[in-house]
Amino acid sequence: MFRKILLYFKYRNFKFKSEGTNCFYKGFSSVFMSPEKITLGNNVYLGKGTEIDAAGGVTIGNGVIFGPEVCLYSRTHNFDSEDLAALPYDNKFVVAPIKVKDYVWIGRRVLILPGVTIGKAAIIGAGAVVSKDVPDYAVVVGNPAEVVRYRNVATVERLLLESSPFVYEKFGHNKILIEKQPKQKIK
């Protein structure tokens, strides 16, 4: 309990490099390291327990939704350079920026590693480990994350032409449940 109180006071007064309008995040349950290197677009929703280490810089575009416990790390340990001074790694960090483009949906417990760019309107499935760039409109899943399909580009681009394509602007937080139909077996 005492640790939670200390973390609250440590992170409650953070200031991002810039923050757009209608951004939602829970500072008490999330961790933002180097927040002065984090840029948030408009309509960004960071789920509970988000962890962002922005030592190398993190840019998050407009209309981006993070599920709970998403982690972005823009730095890693120096473990394999010519001047390596200790094992398993030394006291140097290698940093590289992370960029999440507009209208991306990132599922629960996704891990995004340094230097990755997530393309426009991409979807990252829950639990994915993203170590390479993700193309626009791609749906990626797994560890390591792999493209399993692409979204309907014509439909996404039509929606992007609207003045307010963002889900929470159009529908609020109301959800409609649709039962998934079982696939037909071929005989």
* Maximum average pLDDT range among 7-21, 26-40, 133-147: 133-147
Structure tokens at 151: 């979204």
Structure tokens at 18: 């810039």
Structure tokens at 92: 């140097």
Question: For the segment 43-82, what is each residue's pLDDT rounded down to a tens digit?
Answer: 999 999 999 999 999 999 999 999 999 999 999 998 988 9
CA-based nearest residue to 23, from 42, 9, 5, 38: 42
Q: Are strands 93-95 and 75-77 parallel, antiparallel or unpaired?
A: antiparallel
As a CATH number, domain 2-171 is: 2.160.10.10
Q: Are strands 117-118 and 138-141 parallel, antiparallel or unpaired?
A: unpaired
Whole-number pLDDT of residue 122: 98
> How many whole angstroms separate alpha carbon 67 and alpha carbon 107?
5
pTM of the model: 0.87
Domain range summary for the chain, segments of one domain joined by +: 2-171
- 77 counts as catalytic: yes
Which has the higher per-residue pLDDT, 15 or 145? 145
Which has the higher per-residue pLDDT, 72 or 178? 72
R_g of the chain, CA atoms, integer Å = 18
In this prediction, residues 116-138 reach a mean pLDDT of 98
Question: For the segment 79-105, what is each residue's pLDDT rounded down to a tens digit?
Answer: 988 998 889 988 989 999 999 999 999
Q: Are 130 and 124 in contact (CB under 8 A)?
A: yes
Q: Percentage of the chain surpassing pLDDT 90?
A: 70
| Annotated active-site residue in 15, 77, 132, 158 | 77
